[in-house]
């Protein structure tokens, strides 16, 4: 497990900044729609985006519509649903993915099975199904067992990713590494040094990809092994690091 803080000497570098949201920029809440974005964070991200010529993107498990509601009026390039949705420019079109019938059937089955368990929240995000147990931690083992049973009934091409407080069904092609790679092939990200901040198992593929490009990978609140080269202890430290990063980049302009 890495405990090394991220470098503070990135000023003057051509950086492409990629940001997970929940657990990284925002504290987790029992319900995903309970989170709020304050004006200070919104302004900081907008300032960094301007300083980097627009090379800042969200890479998140949320869908893009929800990201836009959270951060409005700020719009950034965004990969939603782990890259199953993309918007390559702030005001560009959204490439989206609907809910397949087989995944919808699994969601219906599991929602019925756990409908009397208080604190479990099902988030149906098109091609991704999230089951949140942050408000019902004792139910997580049973939810995992039921999810594994349901996965066996799905056609090939799906996997389950377990996180801090729940799990998600997603297609195999839903990878943050692929999402970041797509941005890195397009302006204004192409040719820059990638920096990626994330906090969960689903971010590990992104860390591996960024490491392969000799970029900077930062895991927030790491628990156990991680591919990230650097660590920050909590969301508040992410905000402080971003503020210092913005000041350094602005000073180098």
Length of the chain: 253
Clarify whether 200 is annotated catalytic: no
3-class secondary structure per residue, the chain: CCCCCCCCCCCCCCEEEEECCECCCECCCCCHHHCCCCHHHHHHHHHHHHHCCCCEEEECCCCHHHHHHHHCCCCCCEEEHHHCEEECCCCCCCECCCCCHHHHHHHHHHHHHCCCCCCCEEEEECCEEEEECCCCHHHHHHHHHHHHHHHHHCCCCEEEEEECCEEEEEECCCCHHHHHHHHHCCCCCCCCEEEEEECCHHHHHHHHHHHHCCCEEEEECCCCCCCCCEEECCHHHHHHHHHHHHHHHHHHC
Tell me which of 20, 68, 200, 203 is the catalytic residue: 20
Residues serving a catalytic function are 20
């Amino acid at each position: 497990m890495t405990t090394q803080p991220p470098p503070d000497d990135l000023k003057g570098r051509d950086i492409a900044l990629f940001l997970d949201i929940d657990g990284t920029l925002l504290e987790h809440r029992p319900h995903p729609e309970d989170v709020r974005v304050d004006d200070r964070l919104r302004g900081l991200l907008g300032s960094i985006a301007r300083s980097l010529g627009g090379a800042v993107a969200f890479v998140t498990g949320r869908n893009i519509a929800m990201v836009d509601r959270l951060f409005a009026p700020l719009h950034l390039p965004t990969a939603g649903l782990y890259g199953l949705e993309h918007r390559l420019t702030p005001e560009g079109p959204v490439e989206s993915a609907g809910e397949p019938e087989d995944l919808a059937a699994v969601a219906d089955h599991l929602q019925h099975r756990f409908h009397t368990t208080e604190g479990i929240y099902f988030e149906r995000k098109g091609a991704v199904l999230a089951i949140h147990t942050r408000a019902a931690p004792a139910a997580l083992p049973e939810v995992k067992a039921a999810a594994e049973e349901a996965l066996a009934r799905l056609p090939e091409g799906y996997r389950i990713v377990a996180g801090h407080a729940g799990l998600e069904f997603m297609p195999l092609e839903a990878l943050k590494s692929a999402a970041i790679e797509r941005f890195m092939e397009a302006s204004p990200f192409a040719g820059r040094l990638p920096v990626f901040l994330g906090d969960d198992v689903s971010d590990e593929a992104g860390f591996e990809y960024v490491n392969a490009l000799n970029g900077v990978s930062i895991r927030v609140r790491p628990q156990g092994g991680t591919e990230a080269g650097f660590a920050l202890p909590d969301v508040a430290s992410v905000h402080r690091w971003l503020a210092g990063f913005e000041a350094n980049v602005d000073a180098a302009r």
